[in-house]
Amino acid sequence: MTSPTIEKLRDEWLSSNDRHLYSHIGFFMSWFAAAEMSVSFLLALATKSIDMEGFKLLVRGMDARVKCERLRKASKSYKPIGAALDDRLKNFEKTMIGTRNKIAHSVVVCPEPFDKIYFCSHNEWPSQYFEVADKNPNPPEFISTIALFKQGLWLNFFSYDLHSLVKTEAQAVVLEITHPHSPTRQAFLEDLNQ
């Protein structure tokens, strides 16, 4: 395909109704990646890794949940994890990683009225994809677009908190977020349910 054809197709897709899907998932996944990278960097500090090329080789492809587990283990002999960081790591592990995995391991669709993103598998599709006479025996899981945006926004704040922690970590006695921008897990879950 020629470059003008590709650009025309991109413009059509990004201005179609699918833009709801692309923008929400793109926002979430971009900030998930930033948060995961910061967790990896904290793990490097906690394991006193100085060869970052070698460290990258070790953690490349490692699941985010495993990175969090290893950070917790490594911090026991390095610097303990403070309460604010622990709370936010739990939210990352229990909510954000689950959402990321659903996105990565499903066919995601956002049919009209474009307020929900469905995580579809072989036999789980939203009713909009079935004839009126058919009944959908296995409706898929879904997340509202606003809830997915809220999760992406929390990841944005959490990434900022982790970046700030990494910058001040050398002077710290405890791995802690001292002035958090990301809400606590409890506050986040309460806001998510509104």
| Cβ neighbours of 60 (radius 10 Å) | 8
DSSP 75: H
Alpha-carbon distance 163 to 85, whole Å? 12
Q: How confident is the model at residue 174 (pLDDT cuts 50, 70, 90)?
A: very high
Domain that holds residue 154: 3-192
Count of domains forming the chain = 1
Beta strand pairing call for 141-144 and 116-120: antiparallel
Stated pTM of the model: 0.89
Q: How confident is the model at residue 172 (pLDDT cuts 50, 70, 90)?
A: confident
> For the chain, first and last CA: distance in Å?
46
Alpha-carbon distance 124 to 134, whole Å? 13
| pLDDT in the model for residue 83 | 96
| Cβ neighbours of 187 (radius 10 Å) | 13
Mean pLDDT of the chain: 89
60: tokens are 């490349």
Alpha-carbon distance 120 to 122, whole Å? 7
